[in-house]
Amino acid sequence: MTDPALLASRSLRPAGFHASAAGALVFFPHAGAAAASGRRLLEHLDGTLAGLAVQYPGKGDRKQEAEPHAIEDLAADIVEDLAQAGLLAGPPLTLYGHSMGAAVAFEAALQLEAVGHVPRLVCVSGRRAPSVSLGFTLPLSDAVILRNIEAGAGVPAEVLRSPKFRDALIAGVRNDYTMNVAYHRPPDAALRAPLRFLLSDADPYVDEAAALAWRAHAAGAFDLLHFQGGHFFIDQNLDAVARALR
């Protein structure tokens, strides 16, 4: 893994990155989020894994790019970037995706395995299994989306007070929700890589039964770890989540 290749990458942003680490962890953010949302977690890896956060088109420093329209296409572009950065030639990758990012991470893992790279670990949280309905339908009102954005934190209050930026943010999140709801894989779409679910005890979108439905997508090992918190539990449990990824 080389820093120059990463600096030229469309979608990969180093965070807590150590070129001498034994492997790399790729973090896939939730709907509406930029790569920076994973920075605190990746910096908690303490050099055991090189941290990389995905920057989706239309987010962060790619905000001028067109939003993606399908999880499958988004994942394919990320896999291409991982290959161009030389990361598929190194140790097996660790993938972690939260909420919509869980779908992107899972799809990326399927595509990686199709080209012969079986990840070391695929970790997901905050989303129902790809073969199961998410439990809500579109369209969601602007007010509902705005409440979800506020719950996710990380967005400065002054941004939300600006109609121009607030409306752009809501449009981007709605696009992500549309992709997330549309994404589906049959139960026999299963990973050879170990699959781990991180379950928050007060997540309104996923209970233990829904988390266990991910087991159908594991051809190999599957386990479930419990955490305290709501849907956005990661920053409340940085040390414990980092341990679950190492």
Angle CA(13)–CA(197)–CA(201) in degrees, nearest 5?
Answer: 110
On the question of pLDDT at 2 being above 70, the answer is: no
Mean per-residue pLDDT, 120-134? 97
On the question of pLDDT at 113 being above 70, the answer is: yes
**Where in the sequence numbering do the catalytic residues fall?**
99
pLDDT value at position 3?
62
- When the pLDDT of each residue in the chain is averaged and rounded to a whole number, the result is 92
On the question of pLDDT at 117 being above 60, the answer is: yes
Q: In whole angstroms, how far apart are CA 119 and each of 37, 138, 192, 217?
A: 23, 33, 8, 14
Could you say which DSSP state residue 45 is in? T
Report the predicted TM-score, pTM, of the whole model to 2 decimal places: 0.93
Domain ranges of the chain: 3-245
pLDDT grade, residue 215 (50/70/90)?
very high
Mean per-residue pLDDT, 14-28? 86
Q: In whole angstroms, how far apart are CA 120 and each of 8, 41, 138, 232?
A: 25, 18, 35, 25
Whether 118 contacts 92, CB under 8 Å: yes
pLDDT grade, residue 152 (50/70/90)?
low
Copy the structure tokens of residue 31: 């709907």
pLDDT grade, residue 126 (50/70/90)?
very high
Homologous superfamily (CATH) for 3-245: Alpha/Beta hydrolase fold, catalytic domain (3.40.50.1820)
SS3 13: strand
